[in-house]
Amino acid sequence: MENTPLQALFTSDIGLLSLFTICFVLGMALYIFFYVRRKVTEDTAAHLKNIAKTTKQ
């Protein structure tokens, strides 16, 4: 019986650790992406509000 790469990934200890690591890194990348996107949006809004306030005076 041949051991295919997918079978090795889901059945061996090293394969499961690799799968966990891949999922963890992808989850971390998604978290950082959405965190940075939210902070950039907040900072841009605060900057535009500050510009609007200084140009009114």
Q: Does the reported pTM lie above 0.85?
A: no
pLDDT value at residue 31 = 98
Across the chain, mean pLDDT equals: 93
pLDDT (tens, 9 = 90+) of the chain, 57 residues, equals 578 999 999 999 999 999 999 999 999 999 999 999 999 999 999 999 999 888 876
pLDDT value at residue 56 = 73
pLDDT value at residue 1 = 53
Between the CA of residue 38 and those of 22, 33, 35, 45, 51, what are the distances in Å?
Answer: 24, 9, 5, 11, 20
Annotate the chain with DSSP letters as a single string: ----HHHHHHHSHHHHHHHHHHHHHHHHHHHHHHHHHHHHHHHHHHHHHHHHHHHH-
pLDDT value at residue 19 = 96
